[in-house]
Copies of this chain bind each other. A is one copy, B any other.
């Protein structure tokens, strides 16, 4: 049922797409008319109706600028922005922010949508990974790790923990074990660290990883 478009209709589609792209809104009949040197809005209207019939567009009567592109609208507009707050470097303490600052002041951000990662938008922040200090957690140099601010952890969750004696923060799997906590590297060949609960402070929890290896 792939009805073909007339030249004019194809031109109109192209114009509407470009216009929407550039202006964040769809054009009016008259804008289309002027751009394509059509002599009457009724001609535009006529062809618009054809395009609607052919499924290329939707139109909302009663609403000015009511043209809508049928394709350009994956529901995933529920996109969330996450601020990139700094860097994790091998050995160096992780820069974990005290709190998430005002969105206005964010610099770099990562924008996620549910098709790729479905996170509750709450206390999220991101860090760039520098070096290979976390290969044992399957995290490489250049990765971006997504974290959520939180002070507690369930057993088995990977968290950023502040170690009081080392004066550093590292990324480990967390386990409560009665009077002590066990911090387990993801790499099974490495030894866990044990500590008293009040010697460690959970800074955040690992939610996801993004890695780009080529372009």
Q: How far is the CB of A189 from chain B (nearest CB, A)?
A: 11
A215 at the interface (CB under 8 A from B): yes
Partner of A158, one of B24, B78, B110, B213: B213
Residues of B within 8 A of A21 (CB): 74-78
Q: Are A24's CB and B215's CB within 8 A? A: no
Report how far A75 CA is from B108 CA in the complex, Å. Answer: 13
Q: Are A116's CB and B111's CB within 8 A? A: yes
- Contacts of A157-174 to chain B: CB distance below 8 A: 157-158
Mask, A188-215, CB within 8 Å of B = 1, is 0000000000000000011111111111
Partner of A117, one of B69, B148, B210: B210
Q: Are B115's CB and A111's CB within 8 A? A: yes
Report how far A65 CA is from B74 CA in the complex, Å. Answer: 17
| Chain A residues within 8 Å of chain B by Cβ, number | 50
Question: Known contacts being A64-B64, A64-B65, A138-B138, is A117 close to B24, with CB within 8 Å?
Answer: no
Number of copies: 2
Partner of A208, one of B25, B77, B115, B213: B213
Residues of B within 8 A of A36 (CB): none
Residues of B within 8 A of A100 (CB): none
Q: How far is the CB of A209 from chain B (nearest CB, A)?
A: 4
Partner of A25, one of B65, B111, B158: B65
Can you list 15 A-B contacts with CB-CB less than 8 angstroms, sorted by A residue number? A21-B75, A24-B73, A24-B75, A25-B75, A74-B81, A76-B111, A118-B215, A119-B215, A148-B214, A206-B213, A207-B212, A207-B213, A208-B212, A209-B209, A209-B213
Apart from A24-B68, A108-B115, A208-B210: 9 A-B pairs, beta carbons within 8 A: A21-B75, A21-B77, A24-B24, A24-B73, A69-B76, A118-B215, A208-B213, A209-B210, A210-B211
7 closest cross-chain pairs (CB), A and B: A209-B211, A208-B212, A117-B212, A72-B76, A64-B64, A110-B116, A111-B115
